[in-house]
Amino acid sequence: MRIPWRFLTLLVGAFVFLFPFYYMLIGSLQTEPDPTVRGAFPEPGNLTGQNYVEINNAISLGQSLLNSGIFTGGVILGTMVFGVLAGYALARLQFRGRGAVFGLMLLVQVVPFQLLTIPLYVMVVRSYGLADSYLGMIAPFAINSVAVFIFRQYFLQLPQELFDAARIDGASELSTLWRVALPLVRPALLTGLLVTFIGPWNEFLWPFLITKQQDLQPLAVSLSNYLTTVSARAANPFGAVLAGACVLAAPAVALFIVFQRQFISSSLESGVKG
């Protein structure tokens, strides 16, 4: 009797977790708003895609998605390159002050980004002249301390014998990182990718400060402007708000679905005999 009860418990938990997403999608397709529980089971005649058409006409979803892709892709690229190098150095290289560097990295995580917004804005816009540019949006997020911490912890789990064998064979540190370490920490790379993706994809404040040009604004900024100014004049403001939320959430959900099977712990000891 345990297996059916466990299955029933998991089924109820899945329903509770997925119901808000279902309600958001159904609400975005309604012609007439129905914020009650009954609205979760709408009549076929009350379903339409007009809310999405109105959003596209107001903010150009294609251009906004492209801007978000460039912004988020640049941040992910920077984090994957610099984060992996920093994590590997903190985990496997011996140098004076390594503990202090790691402590400072942990300290950075407790400092709210909003506290740094003004000095970063002055430095990026006035000192570097990167206003109204993708690089100005990407630069402050080019390395993620949380991702560095994740990479470091995974690299620490790798057996020391693998690195000793690579050095005996004459491999450089970069070659050891590329050929020995990275293939064994794929879950860390995927975790770092998702952790890095969520932040810039949903970021509103910084891109809004960097540029006021609509053709450069990421999707989160465009949708925020739409929801605060235009959606109230839409035929169905409730559906317009939910449609905007669906558009913003869809890429993150799709990315998780694509990579969720890859989150399987690899056998870190498989490269060592005995």
Domain boundaries, the chain: 67-218
Residue 71: per-residue pLDDT: 94
pLDDT digits (tens, 9 = 90+) for 239-249: 888 888 888 88
pLDDT category at 109 given cuts 50, 70, 90 is: confident
Nearest CA to 240 out of 251, 250, 229 is that of: 229
User: Greater confidence, 4 or 96?
Assistant: 96
Within 10 Å of residue 96's Cβ, how many Cβ atoms?
7
Strand partners for 47:
30
Q: What is the mean pLDDT of residues 14-24?
A: 86
Mean pLDDT of the chain: 84
pLDDT digits (tens, 9 = 90+) for 68-89: 999 999 999 999 999 999 999 9
Which segment of 6-10, 192-196, 202-206, 209-213 scores lowest on mean pLDDT? 6-10
pLDDT category at 267 given cuts 50, 70, 90 is: very low
This prediction's pTM: 0.82
Residue 198: per-residue pLDDT: 86
pLDDT winner (highest mean) among 70-79, 140-149, 164-173:
70-79
Q: Which CATH superfamily is domain 67-218 in?
A: MetI-like (1.10.3720.10)
Which amino acid, 223? L
Residue 253: per-residue pLDDT: 83
Give percent of the chain with pLDDT exceeding 70: 91
Rounded Cα–Cα distance for residues 170 and 251 (Å): 43
Residue 1: per-residue pLDDT: 47
Q: Specify the length of the chain in residues.
A: 274
Residue 263: per-residue pLDDT: 54
Burial class (CB in 10 A: 0-12, 13-18, 19+), 114: exposed
